[in-house]
Structure formats: structure tokens, C-alpha cells
Amino acid sequence: MSLEQKINYQLNKYPAVKKVIKRAYQLSMYTISPKIKSEGNIIRISPNEKGEYFFGYYDKSPWDASMRYIICMRAENTWSEPDPMDTADILLIDTQDGNRVKKVATTRTWNVQQGCMAQWLGPDFGKKILYNDLRDGKYCSVILDIETNKEKVLSIPVYTVSADGKIALSLDFSRLHNLRLGYGYAALPEKTKGINLPDSIAIWRLDIDSGKVTEILKYTDFANFEVRPEMKKDGSVHKVNHIMLSPNGRRFMVLYRWFCGQHKYTRLITCNIDGTDMYNLSDDDMVSHCYWKNDEEIIAFENKRNGGPGYYLMKDKTREYRHLWTQLSNDGHPSYSPIDNSLVVIDSYPNRARVADIKVLRDTDVEGKNIKVVARVFAPFRYDNDTRCDLHPRWRQDGRAICFDCAFEGHRGLYIVDLESEYNNLFTY
């Protein structure tokens, strides 16, 4: 762990102080650092006009199955509030017609990190999109047929959707807004506000065809599972976040977090979609961004007590894991190529010069001898802290391009980095 990381972990106990020190440090380091705007085979696909353009999170692809159309969001302001109350447009970008833009919907529930969960609906990923919205005073999700414009409104919002388009899981977006800015929705009040450990539902299951909603797990189910003393301390506050279904849709992972004062604890839990067979996959206090490699393995950035911070490939329902690329000790958003099950893309947060990067590497290259930096971009100071612009790299279905959000041109935009032309040696198929 670097000196900067050690200081950062200590300052996590004092968020207000950390913010001031972080900004002063970044400004001084930026002043003396080489100035980089962008590097790599980067192509902007969103319009270069008024507005903020972005997609959202790293766990889903914005491309449809034909790889012609890309989902994009457009908002007026993404730097003032992490969970804005304003509306945002949902667009389709036609990459085979000069990146022509077509507005298809408007949402009233979105945030700067994950948008409105807009995504192509399986199993065909080409005729319908699904997104979250606010209708009749309630959060919901909407299935929109882009050919007929017909809608199907479902009674709860979604967080993660199975590849076959049949099952979705959801959580309390209002509680998430209050406990983790930039990931929830601000329009509706939190019913559990002021309750540290609610005896209420934390995760719901939605049958997309029938619309049936099933209660899966309570907050107390997590707090009563393999109990640690810190969970029961007076004043400890509990929440869940970052649900992700496995590729076959039979299990899901979720980050269960609780706070004791300024100390944050995180567990990575896996579970069957009916709430049974819960497994404590990682209990080393710090775990952040994860991704299913397949139905049995998960890659995650975490700080293991006996291994330190880094990327670990874990086998579900076992204590088996591998520490990958030990020289990479800073957090990022990892995901596996759809057609090469050892190829991983990872981004970084801005360094001391306010430059973030995207790397492509293999989990078979455990020592990281062949890491390829495919893009580097500047992060303007206006996009920082809760309204930062994370890159959130996402694969195209053929594995030959990566889409990401960034703001190096002064506003949020949607970009592609082409891998095939310059880094064709990465591909073995």
C-alpha cells in the first residue's frame, strides 16, 4: 500500500477534513505535473453540443445486439447534485448513421453514477429497453418497445436484470440516496429514515413477465448472518448496495455495508435468487467493485487482511481466491470481455495529475507483465467527489471496443476506445 493510500484510509474517518486536504493536494500536484488532456484511440460518439451526455454503470453494455445502437443519457447539469431532481433524456445513438441521436424517453429518477439503469432487455437485446422512472408518485421501471413506442410499466424500479430478461432484483433507492449519494434517487422520502437497522425489506425480486414482486431479504437477515460485534454496536447504520445477478441468473452478489461512526465495513455476500444459501464470500471490511467472471467466480477489488489492497478472483461458496496483478493497488471498475473469458478491462480514479486511465489485461497474466493502457483522460476539477465522472468502461459484444464516460472536453460525454486497430495482439480468437 502506498503512502497516499495509507493517508487516504486514515482520512476516511474525517470526511470533511479529507475533502479539503484532497483538493489542496490535487491542486498542488496538478500544478507541477505534465498536462494531459487525452491519449489513446478515443472517439466521441455523443453530440458536441450543450448538455451532459453519459450512460451510467460498468456492469451493463450500452450497445444493442447488432452493435449499431447505443443508449445514452442527456441532462443539463451533472456537477451540482449527485442525485438530481431534474429530468433527463434517454437517447439512442445510431453509430452507422453519423452518430445520429434520437430521443426515446424521459426519466425522473437518475443519478450521476448509474443513470436510470437504462439497458437493453434480454434475451434479444435489440427490441426493448428498460429504465427506471417516477410514475404516479412511485418509483417504477418501464419497458419501452423502441419500434412501436409501447410501454409496460412495472411496479418497482430495477437494480440488476437477468440475461434472459425474466428476473430483476431491486433495493430501496431512497435509503441509498440518504446513505450513499450518487447511487439512489432523491424524489421520494426514505421510509426507514432514522432507523439504523430496519426490520424491513432490503431486496425484492421482480418477475418481469407477470410483474409479480417477491420480498427476498430484510436488513436484519444480513445483520443476523455470521454476526460480528461491530454489527451490534450502538449507532451502527446498515444498508445494501451493488446487487449483480450471475450470468445464469440463479445467484446474485450484494455488498452489505454497515457504519460505526466514521468506520465503514463491507461484506460481499452471494445468495440464491430466492434468498436461500447465503454465503459470506469476503469479510475483510473493504470490498468495492465486483463482477461475475462466470457462474462460479467473481473478481473484486478489496483490501484483504493477508494480501492488502488489490484485485482478487474468488470462487463462490469457497475460500479459494487468487491475488491478481499485485502492482495494481488502486480501486477501479473491472469487467470481463463477453467473448474472451480471461480478458479484463479496468479503469482508475484520477491520479495526482487528475488523469484517469483504462487498462486491458488478462487474469492468466497474474504478474501483470502485459498490461495495456488503452486510454488516458483528464478529469476536470468540477467533476469531483460525489459528482465525479467515473469512466465505468463497458465492453462491446464483440470485445473489440470499449465505451466509457468522461469529461476531458469540459463536459460529460460518451466515448469509445477502439482496441482492434492498435492492440490486436490482445485477442486470441
Within a domain: 418: no
Q: Which CA distances in Å does 135 have to 159, 280, 396?
A: 17, 37, 32
Which percentage of the chain shows pLDDT scores above 70? Answer: 92
* Amino acid at site 378: F
pLDDT of residue 382: 93
Within a domain: 310: yes
Within a domain: 423: no
Query: Are 290 and 243 within 8 A, CB to CB?
Result: no
pLDDT of residue 429: 41
pLDDT of residue 21: 75
Q: SS3 sequence, the chain?
A: CCHHHHHHHHHCCCHHHHHHHHHHHHHHHHHHCCCCCEEECEEECCCCCCCEEECCCCCCCCECCCCCEEEEEEECCCCCCCCCCCCEEEEEEECCCCCEEEEEEEECCCECCCECCCEECCCCCCCEEEEEEEECCEEEEEEEECCCCCEEEECCCCCEECCCCCEEEECCHHHHHHHCCCCCCCCCCCCCCCCCCCCCEEEEEEECCCCCEEEEEEHHHHHCCCCCHHHHCCCCEEEEEEEEECCCCCEEEEEEEEEECCEEEEEEEEEECCCCCCEEEEEEECEEEEEECCCCEEEEEEEECCCEEEEEEEECCCCCEEEECCCCCCCCCCEECCCCCCEEEEECCCCCCCEEEEEEEECCCCCCCCCEEEEEEECCCCCCHHHCCCCCCEECCCCCEEEEEECCCCCCEEEEEECHHHHHHHCCC
Within a domain: 229: yes
Question: For the chain, how many structural domains are there in total?
Answer: 1
| Per-residue burial over 52-79, b = 16 or more CB atoms within 10 Å of its CB, e = otherwise | bbbbbbbbbbbbbeeeebbbbbbbeebb
pLDDT of residue 7: 61
Within a domain: 61: no
Q: Which CA distances in Å does 414 have to 66, 273, 408?
A: 19, 33, 11
pLDDT of residue 18: 67
Query: Are 395 and 367 within 8 A, CB to CB?
Result: no
pLDDT of residue 11: 57
Within a domain: 415: no
pLDDT of residue 15: 63
Within a domain: 127: yes
Q: What is the pTM of this model?
A: 0.93
Domain range enclosing 279: 80-348+357-375
Q: Which ranges of the chain have pLDDT less than 70?
A: 1-18, 23, 29-34, 422-429
CATH number for the domain spanning 299: value is 2.120.10
Within a domain: 285: yes
What is the chain's mean pLDDT, rounded? 93
Query: Are 107 and 133 within 8 A, CB to CB?
Result: yes
